[in-house]
């Protein structure tokens, strides 16, 4: 039985959330999640690459020989990442500076190649767009949750796009949430809690 297009979209948000359920594409997620602003930049950039490469791969899926599909997919993804890389450098230099090596590294983000291989190379364009959007949205949402916890908990305020959005008065922020180990802790605890709520534990 075929899933509906809407289902293709929604399954990426919780059940198959790339970060919390599939546990792929972690590196970028953990590294950029110390600031909400960076998380938004990264989420949008990765979603853009994900959706566009899903579209193109779904279009060319019938003419690509299966022996060389991985190199072909990688080149498709690399081209879109280059577009993002150069556009960010031109329009959001601050965001580009903050994300650093992570923009070019979107190319090896397992989510994107994984979806290209597992979904777009087997399905039509509309469904591939839905899948890309769903996974991209789930990824961005998960990133945002981690980033809010880390920035609010670690600095006592959230500053995005030169405005202070939330600030906690009289709160002594534990610095650890901002640093590297804090990312691992936040992520591990969130993941455990999510599993607890979903009622599954292996």
Residue numbers of the site for another protein (CB under 8 A)? Answer: 23-28, 30-31, 70-71, 74-75, 78-79, 81-82, 85-86, 100-101, 104-105, 107-110, 113, 179-185, 187-189, 191-193, 195-196, 200-202
Cα dihedral 43, 49, 50, 56 in deg (nearest 10): 160
Identity of the residue, 8 or 85, whose beta carbon is nearer to another protein in the bound complex: 85
Identity of the residue, 7 or 196, whose beta carbon is nearer to another protein in the bound complex: 196
**Host H or E run for residue 10:** helix 5-10
The DSSP 8-state label assigned to residue 104 in this structure reads: G
What is the C-alpha to C-alpha distance for residues 34 and 152, in angstroms, rounded to an integer? 10
120 close to 53: Cβ distance less than 8 angstroms: yes
Structure tokens at 71: 């190199």
Identity of the residue, 166 or 189, whose beta carbon is nearer to another protein in the bound complex: 189
CB of 55 to another protein, least distance (A): 18
CB of 4 to another protein, least distance (A): 30
Q: Which residue has the tokens 């594409």?
A: 25
76 close to 56: Cβ distance less than 8 angstroms: yes
Identity of the residue, 5 or 74, whose beta carbon is nearer to another protein in the bound complex: 74
């Amino acid at each position: 039985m075929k899933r509906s297009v809407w289902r293709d979209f929604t399954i990426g948000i919780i059940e198959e959330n790339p970060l919390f359920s599939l546990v792929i594409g972690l590196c970028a997620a953990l590294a950029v999640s110390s600031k909400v602003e960076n998380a938004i930049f990264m989420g949008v950039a990765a979603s853009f690459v994900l959706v566009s490469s899903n579209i193109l791969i779904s279009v060319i899926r019938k003419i690509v020989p299966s022996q060389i599909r991985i190199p072909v997919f990688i080149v498709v993804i690399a081209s879109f990442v280059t577009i993002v890389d150069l556009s960010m450098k031109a329009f959001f230099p601050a965001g580009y500076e903050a994300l650093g090596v992570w923009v070019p590294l979107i190319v090896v983000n397992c989510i994107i190649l994984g979806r290209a291989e597992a979904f777009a190379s087997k399905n039509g364009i509309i469904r591939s767009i839905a899948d890309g959007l769903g996974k991209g949205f789930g990824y961005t949402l998960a990133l945002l949750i981690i980033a809010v916890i880390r920035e609010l908990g670690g600095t006592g305020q959230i500053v995005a796009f030169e405005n202070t959005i939330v600030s906690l008065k009289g709160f002594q922020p534990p610095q650890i949430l901002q640093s590297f180990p804090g990312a691992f802790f936040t992520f591990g605890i969130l993941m455990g809690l999510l599993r607890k709520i979903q009622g599954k534990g292996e």
